[in-house]
Copies of this chain bind each other. A is one copy, B any other.
Amino acid sequence: MTDIAVTLADKRGTLPPEDKLGFGKIFTDHMFVMDYATGKGWHNARIVPYGQIEISPAAMVLHYGQAIFEGMKAFRTADNRIVVYRPLDHLNRFNHSADILSIPQMDVNVLHDGLKQLIEIDKEWVPKSLGTSLYIRPFVISTDPFVGVKVADQYTVFIILSPVGAYYASGFKPVAIKVEEHFVRAVKGGLGEAKTPANYAASLKAAEVAKKEGYTQVLWLDALEQKYIEEVGTMNIFFKIDNEIITPALNGSILNGITRRSVLAVAKDWGMKVSERRISIEEVYEAHEQGRLQEVFGSGTAAVISPVGELSWKGRKITINNNEIGETSQKLFDYITDIQQGRVADKFGWTGEMAKL
């Protein structure tokens, strides 16, 4: 176990009613923190009371965006264990993002130990109702007080925790998505594969416009030809065509989603035909016209599976599966959430136990 100094909060907060949690607004009593300085490496791993942080107005992250983050979830199982879904996969991706952003690599074991101790301390904050969870947000910021573009010499990594309500509070149902034809999120040679603020900053305008038009998110096309499908705002995307599950191949400009990996593994395990390949929006529309497009769904930590009931591309709207949840979408959602909340055996070894209540 890593040596982590713990300073407990004087007063503990309490978990609000579980149907009032929402997403990302409430935080637990503590956070994990660790610093980096060139020459010294990562040091001073600690758990401290959650609260405001002090930074310089010249802190590099505020000016040059050298930063990364992750997003994963802890669940409370029926037998009162706290498990995190694929923690090492998320922490390894965190380090992959670090590499892309020229941020020094972290010891995944230290992060994992820190997370485990943090969850042990704040375990009363993990909600238990169906669909609720504890959202885990590790992130690194560059903190040198320096106004000039360069790779920073000082960083801090944090892990903060937020109890979140059921994503489908008003029922599991299909969403309408706009295929973006003007804005671009990421390009080959850019930062698309990293979980870094830059990619989300680049998505705001398009999402704002789409929301005004009544869509929940945008589906990004490739930056070069605006032809091939990339991913959704905060989800990877899947198409079921002729009973085959198709998702865009990892190409350097989309996120290597952990839920995407789970979907691929489960579908394969079920004996379904699965392929990761380049797929154009034309191909999807053509399949729809020919009655071969059976389902469309997104995959991501927040929603797990999000069925898509409508796509709109250049003003051409198509309704998928009668705007109903597809059979595979439903099965995947049920099975993955059953694994996460311990209702079925975890045959893939995806959940990591962090605490017992």
- List residues of A whose CB falls within 8 A of some B CB: 23-25, 27, 31, 50, 52-58, 61-67, 69, 100-102, 135, 137, 139, 141, 145-151, 158, 160, 162, 182-191, 196-205, 207-208, 223-224, 233-234
Contacts and interface: CB of A to CB of B under 8 A. Distances in A.
A201 B207 contact: no
Given A183-B189, A183-B190, A186-B190, 10 more contacts: A24-B58, A54-B54, A55-B55, A65-B201, A66-B200, A67-B201, A149-B203, A151-B208, A190-B223, A198-B201
A182 B52 CA distance: 40
Contact of A57 (B63, B147, B160): B160
Nearest to A181: B189
11 contacts: A23-B148, A25-B146, A61-B62, A62-B139, A63-B137, A63-B197, A66-B201, A100-B205, A149-B233, A150-B207, A183-B190
B101 A201 contact: yes
A35 to B, nearest CB: 14
Interface SS, A side: loop
B191 A197 contact: no
The 5 closest A-B pairs by CB, nearest first: A65-B197, A198-B198, A184-B189, A24-B147, A65-B201
A313 to B, nearest CB: 16
A208 B186 CA distance: 20
A113 to B, nearest CB: 20
A199 B147 CA distance: 15
Given A54-B53, A55-B55, A61-B62, A201 B208 contact: no
A199 B65 CA distance: 8
A288 B94 CA distance: 45
Contact of A65 (B24, B67, B145, B147): B67
Contact of A188 (B52, B184, B186): B184
A214 to B, nearest CB: 16
Contacts of A197: 61-65, 197-198, 201
A334 to B, nearest CB: 25
Contacts of A158: 57
Contacts of A207: 149-151
